Structure 1
Amino acid sequence: MTAVPPVISVVMPARNEGARVGATIASALDTAAGPDGIEFVVVDDCSAPDRRPEVGGAAARRRTTVIRSARRLGVGAARNLAARHARGRVLFVTDAHTGFSAGWDRTAIRLLAPGRILSVTVLDSTSAWRGHGCRLVVPYMGTRWNTAVPEGRLVQVASSAGTVLERALFERIGGYDEGMVHYSGFEPEFSVRAWRTGAEIVHTTDIEIAHRFKPREEVTAFLGAARTSIVHNCLRFGTAHLPESMILEMVRLHALEFPEHIRAALALLEERGAWRRREELAATLPHDFAWFVRRFGLLDQIGRPVPEK
């Protein structure tokens, strides 16, 4: 008897997450309306030996594929690798330290449509805070959470702990940008590129993901170690999409805030072909960034109109 392929593939990178992976998988299975239609694809992104993903019970192990990488991939490449191994028609992209709301799988199937990406509501597992997707900050190329449901439920940037779309659409968009390094900026860049591809990102409050946000001391240590990568990813994101007249302003802002990181970040920008990436997107995407600006009435971070060129 041929096994029925899963409908939904939950894909997640995991670096030094240990038992949190198993807790995430258990939450997804326990709350699913149809657990038999779900698989999990976990990429162990070069975790330390004592902090590799722990999947949990036998039921979870039957539904889980763990792909171990001996070299550091980063969020984008790890998600793409998981997606390539996924068998489901639908991808649910999440983190390895999340909890799922009841019936999340049934709701995802009900709300999805061709060309549509779902951005789910993200909860702070330690407070009453809720995030409803994000909005773009230009020319810095960061994001801010929407703390209220956006009018019309269309969001500029999906929730990185809960982005849901058909696998065929993920492939058409081209997955996450592997020219970025390690952490930060992957979901915003993917989201802007998705809009420029012709997809739409719709927020839903019918699926909620409880997320473990790092405590302050972990955030401080993480940012200190990852800052050059974060600056580079912002610069690459902006180089790929911003009008040329704003790119210099973007670089100036980061140079002023992070003078000890800007030189290495600019070197990475050149090494990883940022301008070539810009040319590729301009030649292949049906919409330019000016279209995205008009679509959302986007202003820059101090309230000025964003130039089209």
Structure 2
Amino acid sequence: MIPEAAGTAGDGSAVPEISVVVPARDEGERVAATIASALAAAAAPDRVEAVVVDDCSAPGRRPRITDVADRRRSRVIRSDHHLGVGAARNLAARHARGRLLFITDAHTRFSDGWDHEAARLVSGDRIISVAVRDQTSDWRGHGCRLVVPYMGTRWNTAAPTGPEPHVQIASSAGTVVDSALFARLGGYDEGMVHYGGFEPEFSVRAWRSGAHIVHTTAIEIAHRFKPPDECTTFLGAARTAMVHNCLRFGTLHLPESMILEMVRLHALEYPDHIQRALAMLQQRGAWQRRAQLEASLPYGFASFVERFALLDQIGRPVPQQ
């Protein structure tokens, strides 16, 4: 069961056990439906709050929460400039009161009793990755795996097995983490921009910090994936940021001998974006951040490679240095 309230908020209400963290940009009424689902499916809705960051949405597309009861359990924090996914999540986490953070998207639906399972499964150093289902089909994703040296990810379409079913990368639509651990890890990397790569980098950094990511099918999130035409438009606008984020991710964690190959792969695939992405990489201090991580994290990227017997994307061993 979810533990009893440890105290009360200033208004006399119970301090929430779980904070649902939702970054939202131009999501409008979808946010209200997500929050309504989280509260309706919760075993103990009075112990759940929603913290929404309105990431500089257009006036007509700002998050709208119309139900009075849902508004009472929700807070919307508006940013007047575009933060991007990582910084928006971090801002929400700083305002969250719950012991646990359930990080999701603005267009999701929750399975029954999700809060009970989250409280049962999360421990101090254990991050939970939940199953993600497409709202329009039977497709399910079970966390992701890393593609190196490209630094993209692929969904796991089969659930991992075993007493501790580890996954390399948690899903941004369903990551559950102790708020103290999230703070200790430093949240998501704000050196990345706007969209793409945030969850993989956070996950690898978590593994290198000594945390571990365990998958569960006891919680399922139904996710609205963008239809093809909407996806094409969105990715076209975000492409330079996404190339930069992949390059930054690799610069922070890959063996130096693989970084040049990573750059070459992106230059071949995205020749119109690589020059600007490389300039952003320098401007945003990627190499300085790499040195900081090497000095502060107890484990190197080699420990991640060893744990998952990681090979590169054409099946070769990943270099140790």
Work out the CA distance in 2 between the residues paired with 1:39 and 1:264.
40
Maintained 8 Å contact 1:133/1:203: yes
Work out the CA distance in 2 between the residues paired with 1:222 and 1:253.
22
Which residue of the partner structure matches residue 302 of structure 1?
314
Using the size of structure 2 for normalisation, the TM-score is 0.95
**Out of 43, 51, 57, which is 1:41 matched to?**
51
Percent sequence identity is 73
Which residue of the partner structure matches residue 255 of structure 1?
267
Deviations 1:171-212 (A, max 9, x none): 111100000000000000000000000000000000000000
**Out of 74, 79, 85, which is 1:69 matched to?**
79
Deviations 1:30-52 (A, max 9, x none): 11000000001000000000000
Deviations 1:196-236 (A, max 9, x none): 00000000000000000000001100111010000000000
**Out of 167, 174, 194, which is 2:186 matched to?**
174
Which residue of the partner structure matches residue 59 of structure 1?
69
Maintained 8 Å contact 2:14/2:46: no
Work out the CA distance in 2 between the residues paired with 1:241 and 1:168.
24
Work out the CA distance in 2 between the residues paired with 1:106 and 1:58.
24
Maintained 8 Å contact 1:23/1:56: no
Using the size of structure 1 for normalisation, the TM-score is 0.99
Work out the CA distance in 1 between the residues paired with 2:80 and 2:124.
36
Which residue of the partner structure matches residue 230 of structure 2?
218
Maintained 8 Å contact 2:148/2:312: yes
SS at match of 2:221: strand
**Out of 115, 118, 122, which is 1:108 matched to?**
118
Which residue of the partner structure matches residue 79 of structure 1?
89
How many residues are treated as equivalent by the alignment? 309
Alpha-carbon distance, 1:151 to partner: 3.6
Which residue of the partner structure matches residue 229 of structure 1?
241
Maintained 8 Å contact 2:252/2:289: yes
Deviations 1:53-98 (A, max 9, x none): 0112001100111000000000000000000000000000000000
SS at match of 1:179: coil
Which residue of the partner structure matches residue 296 of structure 2?
284
**Out of 150, 155, 162, which is 1:145 matched to?**
155
Work out the CA distance in 1 between the residues paired with 2:66 and 2:56.
20
- Residue 185 of structure 1 aligns to which amino acid in structure 2? G
**Aligned: 1:246 with 2:258:** yes
- Residue 184 of structure 1 aligns to which amino acid in structure 2? G
Alpha-carbon distance, 1:4 to partner: 2.1
SS at match of 2:94: helix
Alpha-carbon distance, 1:158 to partner: 0.2
Work out the CA distance in 1 between the residues paired with 2:133 and 2:225.
9
Q: Structure 2: 5+ residue runs without aligned partners? A: 1-10
SS at match of 1:210: strand
Work out the CA distance in 2 between the residues paired with 1:252 and 1:58.
53
Q: Structure 1: 5+ residue runs without aligned partners? A: none
SS at match of 2:196: coil
SS at match of 1:11: strand
- Residue 239 of structure 2 aligns to which amino acid in structure 1? R
Work out the CA distance in 1 between the residues paired with 2:13 and 2:45.
15
Which residue of the partner structure matches residue 89 of structure 1?
99
Deviations 1:256-306 (A, max 9, x none): 000000000000000000000100000000000011100110000011000
Divergent runs of 4+, >4 A = none
